[in-house]
Amino acid sequence: MKKEAGKRIKITGTGIYVPDKILTNADLEKMVDTSDEWIISRTGIKERRVASEDQATSDLAIEAGREALNSAGLKAKDIDLIIVGTSTPDTIFPSTGCWVQKGLGAGNVPAFDISAGCTGFLYGMILAEGLILSGAHKRILLIGGELLTKITNWEDRNTCVLFGDGAGAVVLEESDDESGMLSSYWKADGNLGELLYQPAGGSRIPATDQSVAQRLHYLHMKGNEVFKHAVKKMGEAAVEALKSAGLKKEDVDYLIPHQANMRIIEATGRRLKLPREKVFSNIHKYGNVSVASIPISIHELNEEGKLNKGNIVLMVAFGAGFTWAAVAYRW
């Protein structure tokens, strides 16, 4: 979707929070039948962060949100909407957004969650754009936060090596210059839902002794099928977002793909014929932190001074649903 000339939203603050505990591949070698070499060669992951037993998703999201507000020179009372993307909410209800609102002391501003898997942050950006440009809201705090290690089956060697915990946040406002969101593209296909899902815990399979014994409350993934669709859909989204923005592949200064697997990241870069130095990756440090991966990546690029005025940044993600999306952005 191409944006109306002269009207766009931009990021005015960024923040992240990751737990202190680090789980290395060497640690995993003691837990399941795997090896550091096997994990790195297939995923690119060397370590991941793990939340403590008493931490919930909102705890991470609150800290990331505070940093984003400080970065933007704002206080919680200056925000008029909170959106949290997550697949691991503190509670089914209230929303994690409401717990974050309470923790930040943001008053009675509306707050809610987006459940779009790893694509949730980009879905949130697209939604925030409509709300800001319509005049409904002025400043939105958008957070992506996950505690995937709490729904990971630590006896499944194929999935337990992949996931970590973390949160990233941005403040979004209407742009007063040429910077900001240039275009977006978002899609979903519910026919692919069972390739990556948490079977139990909702109304389809409520919690019972049997559902717990069958490990249905853990994340289930058909890895090879997910890989195939992810590569195709992320490439599609990236190309379409560039087309809508009137940009060419050569215009991209940085590709920020969802950090799911190094092979998927590299395949997306090849689809766009981008040199390796333009494809951002931090998966070696955090693993797959789902909806938090793109906002964490934005923050790190910004903090490292790699984002310069006018840079074209292409963000792209896929996730459970299946969902997929891309955003073309001028820094």
Active site residues: 118, 258, 288
* C-alpha distance from residue 256 to each of 132, 140, 314 (Å): 24, 22, 6
Map residue 274 onto helix, strand or coil.
Answer: coil
Assess contact for 56 and 113: CB atoms under 8 A. no
Phi, psi of 8 (to 5 degrees): -160, 170
The strand pair at 254-257 and 220-221 is best described as: unpaired
DSSP 91-136: -SSS-HHHHHHHHHT-TT--EEEE--GGGHHHHHHHHHHHHHHTTS
- CA–CA separation, 325 and 331 (whole Å): 19
Q: What is the DSSP letter of 279?
A: B
Yes or no: say if 283 and 262 are a contact pair by the CB < 8 Å rule.
yes
Hey, what amino acid is at 167? A
Distance CA 320, CA 126 (A): 18
**Token pair in block for residue 175:** 């742009």
